[in-house]
Each structure stands twice: as C-alpha cells, then as structure tokens.
Copies of this chain bind each other. A is one copy, B any other.
C-alpha cells in the first residue's frame, strides 16, 4: 500500500459517504486525537468542511490556538481505537500511548497512522459560530488516502475485505461498516 495525495477538488469524496472520523491537532508541542462523527461538508471549491467541537474537548483548545486540525477516516479495524479516542484526554492523560502518529511534509498537524484517509484543514475565523454552536468551518489544505481503498479520485470498497471498509457510528458502541456499492453512473444526474 502507499499513501497518495488526493486532489483538493476531489477531497470531498473522502467524506461524502458520512464516515465516522478521528480529529487530531497540535499546539505548543501538545498533540491530541479525538473521535468525531459530526464532520460535514460545506463546499467543494474551495474544499470546505464543518466540525462540531464541544467546549469540554481538550482538542478544541489545540484547534483554536493553532488554527488547524486533521480529519482521519478510519478503517473498520480501527473501531476500538475510535472508541478509545472518545475518552477525554483530561481524564485519561495517556490515551495517545496506543496511537502511532506521523506527519506529512510542510504540515505541523499530527496524523493517525493506519487510517484510510486524512484531510488537513485550516480553520476559518468564524469565532461567533464557534462560540454559539461549537461549529468550526475550515478549508481543506492537504488530503491523502491509502491507495488500496481510494485511488484516481474514487473509493474502491467493492474490491477490498471487510477490514478495509470505513466506519459509520450510531451510538452506544454500534458501528456499521460501509456496505455494497450501488453504481448508477449512467443516470442523467450522475454528476460530480
């Protein structure tokens, strides 16, 4: 496998199917990772995302102070890690011990190794929205994916084992993996 860059104009496809994610950030040498289902898309050009970050989240301060965060799209095999990262750093200071982080050149934002895809995002200065609704908007400034599952701008989930599907979280420890492909590419509205 190889980690390949994803064109920013195609990066929305990494999130469009609504996967559960993990958010990472770093400020002043302190790194953190948290799980987050509430990541959304706001635009394609520019590639723009939304993220809900509760005021109690340790990661929020890292995001506010550094102005950056990364979204990772985990594999099905990472389900337990996603729940582990749901623990607060405040009550579990050593929560990152089991996580391998890495960096992409020219970005000082930690990434969780072994994920399916990564998007590094630069926060927009919308402090009122952040305060009132805990809602952060950010532009995607770098994106990468594991080429076993995403290449040439497309996911290839039908070609891989269950372990390499992505995750969709509900609540109470219940996830669903991404399922079977339904391809209607000949439909007149099959654009994008």
The chain A residues found within 8 Å of chain B, CB to CB, are 12-13, 16-20, 37-43, 48, 50, 52, 76, 79-80, 83-84, 86-87, 129, 133-135, 137, 154-155, 157, 162, 165, 167-192
Complex formed: what's the CA distance from A28 to B86 in Å? 46
Contact A179 B182 (CB under 8 A): no
Complex formed: what's the CA distance from A180 to B19 in Å? 14
A-B contact list, 28 entries, CB within 8 Å: A12-B171, A16-B168, A17-B18, A17-B170, A18-B18, A37-B41, A40-B40, A42-B52, A43-B134, A48-B133, A50-B50, A50-B135, A79-B182, A79-B184, A86-B191, A154-B172, A155-B174, A157-B176, A168-B168, A171-B191, A172-B185, A173-B189, A173-B190, A174-B181, A174-B184, A175-B181, A175-B182, A176-B180
Contacts of A42 in B (CB 8 A): 38, 52, 133-135
Contact A170 B154 (CB under 8 A): yes
Name A10's closest neighbour in chain B (CB-CB): B171
Complex formed: what's the CA distance from A154 to B170 in Å? 8
Contacts of A185 in B (CB 8 A): 172-174
CB distance from A114 to the nearest CB of B (A): 17
Contacts of A76 in B (CB 8 A): 182
